[in-house]
A and B are shown apart, each in its own frame.
Chain A
Amino acid sequence: MPDANGQVAILGVGMHPWGKWGRSFVEYGVTAARAALADAGLQWPEIQYVAGADTIRNGYPGYVAGATFAQALGWSGARVSSCYSACASGATAIDIARARILAGLCDVALVIGADTTPKGFFAPVGGDRPDDPDWLRFRLLGATNPTYFGLYARRRMELYGATERDFARVKVKNSRHGATNPNARYQKEVGEDEVLASPVVASPLRLLDICATSDGAAAVVLSSLDFARRRRRRAVKVAAVSTVTPRYPNTVIEMPNFATDSATGVAPPDLAFRDSIAHAAYDEAGVGPDDLDLAEVYDLSTALELDWYENIGLCKEGEAERLLNDGDTTLGGRIPVNPSGGLACFGEAVPAQAIAQVCELTWQLRGEAGGRQVEGAKAGVTVNQGLFGHGSSVVVVR
Chain B
Amino acid sequence: MPVIEGWFTMDDDRPQLLGSRCSSCGARFFPKAAACRSPQCGQGQLEDVPLSRTGRVWSFTDNRYQPPPPYVASDPFEPYAIAAVELADERMVVLGQLESGVDVTALGVGAEMELTLGTLYEDDEHEYLVWKWRPTGA
Which residues of chain A have a CB within 8 Å of any CB of chain B?
120-121, 123-124, 126, 128, 130, 135-144, 146-147, 150-155, 158-159, 199-205, 248-249, 251-253, 257-266
Contacts and interface: CB of A to CB of B under 8 A. Distances in A.
B61 A158 contact: no
A135 B70 contact: yes
A147 B61 contact: yes
29 contacts: A121-B68, A123-B69, A136-B4, A137-B95, A138-B70, A139-B70, A139-B72, A141-B82, A141-B95, A141-B96, A141-B97, A144-B63, A147-B63, A151-B60, A151-B82, A151-B84, A152-B59, A158-B108, A200-B62, A201-B64, A202-B62, A202-B63, A248-B37, A248-B39, A259-B31, A261-B27, A262-B91, A265-B38, A266-B40
Contacts of B70: 124, 128, 135, 138-139
Given A155-B59, A251-B91, 9 more contacts: A121-B68, A137-B95, A138-B68, A140-B130, A141-B95, A151-B60, A261-B92, A262-B29, A265-B27
B101 to A, nearest CB: 16
A151 B61 contact: yes
B28 interface: yes
B29 to A, nearest CB: 7
A128 to B, nearest CB: 8
B46 to A, nearest CB: 13
A150 B68 contact: no
Interface-centre pick from B63, B73, B92, B109 (highest chain A CB count, 10 A): B63
Contacts of B72: 139
Nearest to A202: B61
B3 interface: yes
Contacts of B65: 121, 144, 201
Contacts of A139: 3-4, 70-72
Interface string B101-128: 0001000110000000000100000000
A203 B104 contact: yes
B67 A121 contact: yes
Interface in B1-58: 3-4, 7, 25-31, 37-40, 58
Contacts of A204: 61
Nearest to A132: B70
A263 B89 CA distance: 10
Contacts of B91: 251, 262-264
A251 B84 CA distance: 12
Given A150-B61, A154-B61, A264 B3 contact: no
A261 B95 contact: no
Nearest to B5: A130
Contacts of A120: 68
A162 B59 CA distance: 14
